[in-house]
Every structure is written in structure tokens, then in C-alpha cells.
């Protein structure tokens, strides 16, 4: 279980880094994958905000894991579940959302909650 949790948490961090980079480098493509469609008129401020948020979160998760700060990683993952919960709600409230675009956000919520609680429960306080 320890190795599986580590791999899933590391994969989560790396995927967030990838998603963040995608929003910063190819914002319109990333937006479609996120599950919304906005008319930006060439202004990608939203995309850059989301990109840097995901990039930061991914780097934080990876660094906490690499430095073996598992309890801190647990709290970070647990607190971070707020983000995909909000993302799920944002996508679901779009007028023409596709159900398939909700899955990634729902999976992220479940994964973050499970991993967060796992690391908090199994890691002793320092």
C-alpha cells in the first residue's frame, strides 16, 4: 500500500505539472480538456491563472514526496481536494457541459481525499 500510495501521489503531482504547463503553453487546447469553452478574444488570463495554480500544486506535491514529508503531503493533498471540487462544480454549471468532462475532476477529488487521509493516518507526527 505504501508504494502504491507513493506512486499515485507522485503521478498526481507530475500530471498537475503537465496540466499547468499545458495551460501556460497551449491554453485553448488545455481549456477543452478541462471541460469548458470560453470566448477569450485572445486574452488567456484565466488560462494562465489556472496553469500556474496547477504547476505550483504539482511541484509542491512532488517536492513533499521527494523530501519524504509524507504527513505534510497528506495535509496538502487533503486541502488541495478543494480545487477539483470547485472545478467539478464549474464544469457542471456550464450550459453545454459534457458528462465525460466531469470524470477527471471527480477522480481527482476521490484520489486526493484517499491519499490525503492515508498519509495523515499512516505517518507519525514529528
CB-hemisphere CA count at 13 Å for 18?
8
Q: Which residue, among 105, 106, 97, 17, has the nearest Cα to 54 in the 3D structure? A: 17
Q: Model's pTM, two decimal places?
A: 0.89
Summarize pLDDT for 106-118 with one digit per residue, the tens.
999 999 999 999 9
Give the domain ranges of the chain.
2-122
Q: CA neighbours within 13 Å on the CB side: how many for 98? A: 9
The model's confidence at residue 3, banded by pLDDT at 50, 70 and 90, is very high
Amino acid at each position: 500500500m505504501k508504494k502504491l500510495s507513493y506512486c499515485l501521489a507522485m503521478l498526481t503531482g507530475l500530471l498537475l505539472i503537465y496540466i499547468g504547463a499545458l495551460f501556460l503553453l497551449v491554453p485553448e487546447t488545455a481549456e477543452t480538456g478541462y471541460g469548458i469553452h470560453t470566448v477569450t478574444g485572445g486574452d488567456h488570463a484565466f488560462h494562465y491563472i489556472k496553469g500556474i495554480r496547477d504547476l505550483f500544486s504539482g511541484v509542491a506535491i512532488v517536492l513533499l514526496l521527494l523530501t519524504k514529508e509524507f504527513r505534510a503531503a497528506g495535509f496538502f493533498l487533503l486541502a488541495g481536494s478543494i480545487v477539483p471540487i470547485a472545478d467539478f462544480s464549474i464544469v457542471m454549471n456550464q450550459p453545454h457541459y459534457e458528462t465525460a468532462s466531469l470524470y477527471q475532476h471527480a477522480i481527482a477529488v476521490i484520489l486526493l481525499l484517499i491519499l490525503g487521509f492515508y498519509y495523515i493516518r499512516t505517518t507519525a507526527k514529528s
